[in-house]
Chains A and B, each alone.
Chain A
Amino acid sequence: MSTTHATRTRRRTPDSHDYPTRHYDLVKEFVIALAIMTGLSLVLAGVFSSPDDKAISMASWAKADPADLVATATGELAGTTTSATYGAPYNDASEGQSVLGLKLQKWGGVGIPINSADLVLQPLRAVSGDAQLANALQQWDALSADQQTTRATAYADALAKAPDGDPAQVSQGSYGPVPALTTSFLGLASSGGLEGSLTSSATFYGSDQTRAMLLLSDGAYLEDQAVADHLGGDQWGMMNEVGNYPGQPWMWLYTFWYQVKPFSTSENADTQVWALMMLLTVGLILVPWIPGVRSIPRLIPVHRLIWRQHYRRKR
C-alpha cells in the first residue's frame, strides 16, 4: 500500500547572526537616551508642572452643596443610594453585573461589608454632648427596620420636592427623627470631623478611605464637579485629568467602549467592557500565533520603510 505525504512550504526566518554586521554602541545609545528622557522630563515638568486640585472635603461639600449632602445622608438611611443597593463587595443588596451569564461581581463575595446607614449613624453616635442628637438616635433605634425605611424614604421624597432640595423648605410630614439626624450630620460634616470618623474610627492609623469615598460618590456634588471639569463617564473621564493635562491616553480603548452602544446604554457595561478588553489583551499577546492577524505586516508593507536601506542594498 502506498502512502502519499502531503507537502507544503513554510517560511524560515534566517538567523540574525548570519547577516553582515556594523559597529553599534548599545551603552552609548542608552546613556544618550537616558540623558534625553531626563532632560525632556525636566523641561516638561518645569514648563507644564502637574495638576493638583485639592480633594473635596466633607466640609467643602457641606458648604458648597448642603442640600445634596442632606439628601445623600437621607438616602443612606433609606437604603436607596448607589452604595446601599450596590451588591458585592459591599453588600448583597443586588446581584451586581454579569457577562454571558457569569455573575462575576456576585461570585467575588462581600469582601468589604458596609451598611450604608452606618455611613451616617456611626459618625453621629461618636458625637458626645449633644442631647438633641442623642434623643434623635434613641428614637431611630426604637423604630423597626420598616419604620426606619418608611420615615427616611418619606423625607427623601419631601426633600426632592422642596425648592432646591432645601431642608428648611420641606413640607410637614411624618419623618420621625430623620430631619434631626441629617441636620446633625450636616453640622458634623461642616465642622470637618466627618472624614476622621469615617476613616479612622476603629484605628489610630486611618489609611482606608473606602467609606468616605462611597459616601461622597453617593452624592451628586462629586460628579457635578467632575463633569464641570470634563471628567464625566461619557466624557472619556477615566483617562482624563483636570485641566488640559494628558491623563492616561494609553487607556483610550478601555474608555472608548463606554462611549458607544451597546456599552453606553448597558447595565452591565463595566463587566462587558472588562471582558472585551481581557479578550483583546489576550489576542494582542497571542498575535504571533493567530493566522491572518500575524500576516498583516506582510500585507501592509510598512516594513519596506523600516528596512529600506537593507532592501536598497539587496537590489
Chain B
Amino acid sequence: MSASPEEHDRSWTVAVRNRVSGLVPPGQVLPDQQPAYVASWIYVFGVATLAALVVVVGSGVVLAMGGAAWWHTSSFGHFVNSVHLWSVELFFAAMVIHLWGKFWMAAWRGNRGLTWATGVVSFVASIGAAFTGYLVQSNFDSQWISGEAKDGINSIGIGGFFNVLNPGQMLLWHVTLLPVAVGIITVMHVVLVRRHGVVPPLDDEREEVAR
C-alpha cells in the first residue's frame, strides 16, 4: 500500500531528502561547464587546498596506524611524518593564497557571505588541528611549544579543559575532533561554493534602486 499524501508530507526521510537534494542546483555538484570568467591561476588554489588536505589526512592515517611513537624508531615512519609535515605546509600555503585571492575578488558578493565565513572558520579550525599536531610529536619541539602554549590557553580560562601539557588528550583532539571539525566545515564550504557558483567579476554589478 502506498503512503498517503499526508504521510508523505510528514515523512522525515522525505524532508531530509528534499533538503539535501535542494542544497545544490541540478547539475552543479560536479559541473562540466564553468562561467567563462573563471580563467586565472588563482582558482587553482582552492582545489589545491583540498588536494593537500587529502595528503595530510592520508599520511596522518598511516602515522596513526604505526602509533604515537612509531616515527621516532622507524625510518619509514620518519619519512611518513615528513610527508605529513610538508603536506601541512603546502595545505596552509595553498589555503592562504586561496583566501587572499577570494578577498581581492570580494567573493562574498551575491549572498556568498556564508561561503566566506565557513572558509575562515575552516582556516581557524585547521590552525587548531595543526597546533595539536605540534604538541603530540613527543620530542623537544612539543615540550617547548606546549610549555609556551599553556600560558596562552590558561590565560583565557580553558586550560583546565584543554590541557596542552597532556599529550594523551591532545593526540585525541588531533586525530579525531579537529580533523572531523575541519572536514565538516570544508564540506559545508564546498557545498556553498557549488550552491552559489563562482562569484562574477567585480564591476559587472548592476545598479538598482533600493528603498
Report which A residues bind B (CB closer than 8 A). Answer: 5-17, 19-27, 29-30, 33-34, 36-38, 40-42, 44-46, 48-56, 86, 88-89, 96-97, 104-112, 207-210, 213-214, 216-217, 222, 225-226, 231, 233, 237-238, 241-242, 245-246, 248-251, 268, 270-271, 273-275, 281, 284-289, 294, 296-298, 300-303, 306-307, 309-311, 313
A287 to B119: give the CA distance in the assembly, Å.
12
Q: Using a CB-CB cutoff of 8 Å, which residues 25-51 of chain B contact chain A? A: 25, 30-40, 42, 44, 47-48, 50-51
A296 to B202: give the CA distance in the assembly, Å.
12
Choose, from B6-14, B15-23, B97-105, B176-184, the stretch at the interface: B97-105
Q: Which residues of A contact B31 (CB under 8 A)?
A: 24, 26
Contact A7 B200 (CB under 8 A): no
Contact B104 A303 (CB under 8 A): yes
A248 to B38: give the CA distance in the assembly, Å.
32
Of B32, B38, B85, most buried by chain A (CB within 10 Å of CB) is B85
Q: Which residues of A contact B39 (CB under 8 A)?
A: 22, 309-310
A275 to B113: give the CA distance in the assembly, Å.
24
A237 to B145: give the CA distance in the assembly, Å.
8
Closest to A214 in B: B165
Report which B residues bind A (CB closer than 8 A). Answer: 25, 30-40, 42, 44, 47-48, 50-52, 54-55, 59, 71-72, 78-79, 81-87, 89-90, 92, 94, 96, 101, 103-106, 108-110, 112-113, 116-117, 120-121, 124, 127, 130-131, 134, 137-152, 154-161, 163, 165-169, 196-211
Contact A33 B44 (CB under 8 A): yes
A44 to B89: give the CA distance in the assembly, Å.
10
Contact B82 A48 (CB under 8 A): yes
Q: Which residues of B contact A281 (CB under 8 A)?
A: 120, 124
Chain B interface secondary structure, helix, strand, loop or mixed? helix
Contact B83 A16 (CB under 8 A): no
Contact B199 A16 (CB under 8 A): yes
Closest to A83 in B: B150
Contact A289 B86 (CB under 8 A): no
Closest to B104 in A: A302
Contact A208 B168 (CB under 8 A): yes
- Given A55-B143, A208-B168; A303-B201 close (CB under 8 Å): yes
Contact A45 B51 (CB under 8 A): no
Q: Which residues of B contact A302 (CB under 8 A)?
A: 104
